[in-house]
Amino acid sequence: MTNILDRIWLIFSSVKLTIVLLLIFGIAMAYGTWIETVYSNGAARILIYRTWWFDVLTVLLALNLIGCTLRRAPYYPHQYPWLLTHVSLLLIMAASLITNRFGLQGQMVILEGETENRFGLEQLDFENWETTIGEERQLPFGVHCVAFEQVMYPGTGMTSLFKSHVIVDDPGNPEKIEWDVILNHPLVYKGYKISQASWIDLPDGRQATVLGVSYDPGIPYMYVGGSLLVLSMAGIIFLKPWLKRKFPPAPRGPIMPLAENTEMTQELMADSPTNKEGIPA
């Protein structure tokens, strides 16, 4: 049993596994980019980024990163920026998993002068590979469309701007919130982002606005992880040389050798993260 656990530890703390997983990630994301270009962003989300196997890849990469991090312990001061890099990457992967499992993406249609609090989740029509509206969900507030405005280029029939003037209808909030929802100027309220997607011209001459609805609970973790990643990169460039001079590391041998197993000990020594002098990089 001990040998099995040692073998599992050896696999998950191996840089070779990191390379394999990153290669698979690269292929999957390249395919996802192609789907976004040929079909739509929604199709890429449904077929690639929010699938169970993409989540499994993310979990495996996170476990591999944890294994590689623990295998290098204990850390010297000049290695702290690299350690912060690992922590930031784990936060980013956690944010990705939270978004994939609990995030929502869909659309809602509102007639001028009406209020709506339901939206349909996006789904993929495999016959023509287009994103359509499926299962309905309910917002914790209502959106009232006061007016929809469509501005045309002078002398042409082309639309230059379209926007929706909306009011948030939330019984729990006495404050009146008004917003002009325009492309790249979404309304963000209670974690939901309401953005301008399109419009519909009705036979009776009225217009209905089509608003995109997204809910991403992983965003706070992504912001924290991204900020720590920037700090760690700055630390590697500017702080690491100073720390290495201030706290020179003592030589050390291979980390966590597996006694009573010569073959695995040699394998660990070959992959040990030290330089020729036995000083950690």
User: What percent of the chain has a predicted confidence (pLDDT) above 70?
Assistant: 87
Q: What is the pLDDT of residues 78-133, one digit of tens each?
A: 888 889 999 999 999 999 999 999 999 999 999 988 999 999 998 887 777 677 78
Q: What is the pLDDT of residues 118-167, one digit of tens each?
A: 999 988 877 776 777 888 999 999 999 999 888 777 777 677 788 899 99
Q: Is the pTM of this model over 0.85?
A: no
Which pLDDT score, from 0 to 100, does residue 26 have? 94
Query: Distance between CA 178 and CA 281 in Å, rounded?
Result: 56
Query: Distance between CA 228 and CA 233 in Å, rounded?
Result: 9
Which pLDDT score, from 0 to 100, does residue 51 have? 92
Residue 217 or 13, more confident: 217
Domain ranges of the chain: 2-102+218-270, 104-215
- CA proximity to 137, closest of 197, 196, 215: 215
Question: Who contacts 181 (Cβ-Cβ below 8 Å, separation ≥6)?
Answer: 163, 164, 165, 166, 187, 194, 195, 196, 209, 211
41-50, 64-73, 167-176, 237-246: the lowest-pLDDT one: 237-246
Fold of 104-215: Tick-borne Encephalitis virus Glycoprotein; domain 1 (2.60.98)
Query: Would you tell me how many other CB atoms lie within 10 Å of the CB of residue 164?
Result: 27
Which pLDDT score, from 0 to 100, does residue 89 have? 95
- CA proximity to 243, closest of 235, 253, 251: 235
Query: Distance between CA 249 and CA 270 in Å, rounded?
Result: 21
pLDDT-derived band of residue 277, with 50, 70 and 90 as boundaries? very low
DSSP reduced 3-state for 111: strand
98-107, 127-136, 190-199, 268-277: the lowest-pLDDT one: 268-277
- CA proximity to 266, closest of 256, 275, 257: 257
pLDDT-derived band of residue 1, with 50, 70 and 90 as boundaries? low
Check if the beta carbon of residue 110 is closer than 8 Å to that of residue 254: no
Query: Would you tell me how many other CB atoms lie within 10 Å of the CB of residue 274?
Result: 17
34-38, 59-63, 276-280: the lowest-pLDDT one: 276-280
Which pLDDT score, from 0 to 100, does residue 252 have? 57
As a dihedral over the C-alpha atoms of residue 174, residue 178, residue 183, residue 185, rounded to 10 degrees, the angle is -70
Query: Distance between CA 113 and CA 246 in Å, rounded?
Result: 68
Amino acid at position 192, single letter: Y
Query: Would you tell me how many other CB atoms lie within 10 Å of the CB of residue 116?
Result: 18
Query: Distance between CA 212 and CA 195 in Å, rounded?
Result: 5
pLDDT at 172 over 80: yes
pLDDT at 39 over 80: yes
Which pLDDT score, from 0 to 100, does residue 260 have? 47
Tell me which H or E stretch contains 109: strand 104-111
Pairing of strands 130-152, 207-215: unpaired
61-65, 107-111, 153-157, 272-276: the lowest-pLDDT one: 272-276
As a dihedral over the C-alpha atoms of residue 56, residue 60, residue 63, residue 68, rounded to 10 degrees, the angle is -160
Q: Which residue has the tokens 């394998």?
A: 267
